[in-house]
Copies of this chain bind each other. A is one copy, B any other.
Amino acid sequence: MSAASTAKRRAGDALDIVALERGGHASYSACGIPYWVAGDVGDVDDLVARTPAQHAENGIDLRLGHEVTAIDLDRGEVEVADGGSGSGYRIGFDRLMIATGAVPIRPDLPGVDAQGIFGVQTLDDGAQVIETLASRKPRRAVVVGGGYIGVEMAEAMVRRGLEVVVVDQAAEPMTTLDPDMGRLVHASMEQMGIDVRSSTPVEGFDAGPDGWVRSVVAGGAEIATDVVVLGIGVRPNVELADAGGLPVGDAGGLQVDLRMGVKGHPNIWAGGDCVETFNLVSQRWVHVPLGTHANKHGRVAGTNIAGGYATFPGVVGTAMTKVCDLEIARTGLRESDARVAGFEFESVTIESRTRAGYFPQSRPMTVKMLAERGTGRLLGAQIVGREGSAKRIDVCAVALWNRMTVADLMDVDLGYAPPFSPVWDPVLVAARAAVSALQG
């Protein structure tokens, strides 16, 4: 819808835009669902950026419940199934934008189809969880997966008063961090009363006579529960595009160029969680499902579709989340990524504070930083800390964007005042430590 809105705004009547969505909602913030479940967001309508009526007003023919079932590149048509009437039709296009998003990975395990096992991908998923919390008043929850969705849903369940077990096959939660930083997340979650079981693959689910899940079998143990949330991750939803003959890359997403055009197909565009994105640090194509990228992809694609010029130059891998008051952020490469990319590097970890030490809201934060040997170039950074920590990752993101060295970063004139930072901002302290490490 971001592409549609941008294109319509630019081209006006020169473009007829039809938007086909198989679900019942459009233009909503999927990232907001955990906060809706947690109770931060009162009304589901708050998650909707633009209503179907607003899109209609803007001249976009948005058809909810209409699923594209095939893309016919030769004829320049798509095949549509209208979920309401049950009938199908074909519709021609001059330009096609593919924004099929990602689908949650649902493990092929015994009992996974029991009732009470929820994904958290769509507004309907969120509504089901909320309805279950209200009607069944569950006491215990198991969250499967310790990534972004996993830790966010663990917070949501804790704040709803449930006893929460997080079952995760990885050695530590938040594998988008290095394990030593993930360990900090693990310890903090335990302090919040969340039972985090790492290195514990799920083997199956057991349902009661009513068909509702009653336990999760994981790591040889049976964990009794009243509800299960799956947060295992997502994969690009490219079946349709793949079947239509469009190029899919090694990371599983559609291959696009700088302008979000599908490679080799001048009139086909794509964006959001179904495409691959270029990581400017590793110089590899990766799959980064994230609302902010999706929105920017849409704006770039929409501009180009309307005959303008815009590019999406890539990402440096910035992402963040929180679990209750623990903030987690990362950008650039982890140690494992840096090794795969062939970098030799030093890695440092420092402890600092979010504000001047004497300031009452001063909180601890840990910053890890990787820098290339020889050049001293910043390769990545990770932050785990309390309120006021996470958004500091942006400094490192801009530094990565500019291929800065840690020696140069160490000197940058960052904002200082006691309510906002120690005299040396924690990011600068980390950069200074990295400089020392590089000097041996």
Instruction: Assess the B397–A413 pair: CB atoms within 8 A.
Output: yes
Out of B47, B329, B398, name the residue touching A395 (CB < 8 Å): B398
Cβ A394 vs Cβ B397 within 8 A: no
Residue from A296, A320, A321, A358 having most chain B Cβ neighbours under 10 A: A358
Q: Is A419 an interface residue (CB 8 A)?
A: yes
A359 and B40 form a contact (CB under 8 A): yes
Q: Which residues of B contact A331 (CB under 8 A)?
A: 413, 415
Task: Pick from A50-58, A102-110, A121-129, A287-295 the stretch touching chain B.
Answer: A287-295
21 A/B residue pairs, CB under 8 Å, sorted by A:
A31-B417, A35-B418, A40-B359, A41-B360, A46-B357, A47-B358, A311-B411, A314-B413, A318-B415, A318-B416, A319-B415, A321-B417, A331-B415, A390-B420, A394-B395, A395-B395, A397-B412, A397-B414, A398-B399, A398-B402, A401-B413
Complex partner residue of A423 from B292, B327, B357, B395, CB under 8 angstroms:
B292
Check if A7 is an interface residue, CB within 8 A of chain B.
no
In this complex, the interface size class of chain A, counting residues with CB under 8 Å from chain B, is: 35 or more
Smallest beta-carbon distance A34→chain B, Å: 8
Number of copies: 2
* Residues of chain B contacted by A93 (CB below 8 angstroms): none
Contacts of A318 in B (CB 8 A): 413-416
B contact residues around A359 at 8 Å (CB):
32, 35, 40-41
B residues in contact with A292, CB < 8 Å: 414, 416, 421, 423-425
Instruction: Please name all residues of chain B whose beta carbon is closer than 8 Å to the beta carbon of A408 when the two chains form the complex.
Output: 401
Across the interface, do B419 and A322 meet the contact criterion of CB distance under 8 Å? yes
> Nearest-CB distance from A369 to chain B (Å)?
15
Contact flags A156-178 to B (C-beta < 8 A → 1, else 0) = 00000000000000000000000
Q: A29-B356, A32-B358, A40-B359 are in contact. Are A291 and B329 (CB under 8 A)?
A: no
Chain A residues 387-437 with CB under 8 Å of chain B are 388, 390-395, 397-399, 401-402, 404, 408-409, 411-421, 423-425
Q: A296-B411, A390-B420, A397-B415 are in contact. List 15 more A-B contacts (CB 8 A).
A: A31-B416, A32-B358, A35-B418, A41-B359, A291-B416, A315-B413, A318-B415, A320-B417, A327-B420, A391-B391, A393-B415, A398-B399, A398-B402, A401-B408, A402-B402
Select from chain B the residue with minimum beta-carbon distance to A402.
B402
Q: Which residues of B contact A320 (CB under 8 A)?
A: 415-417, 420
**CA gap between A419 and B31 in the complex, in Å:** 10
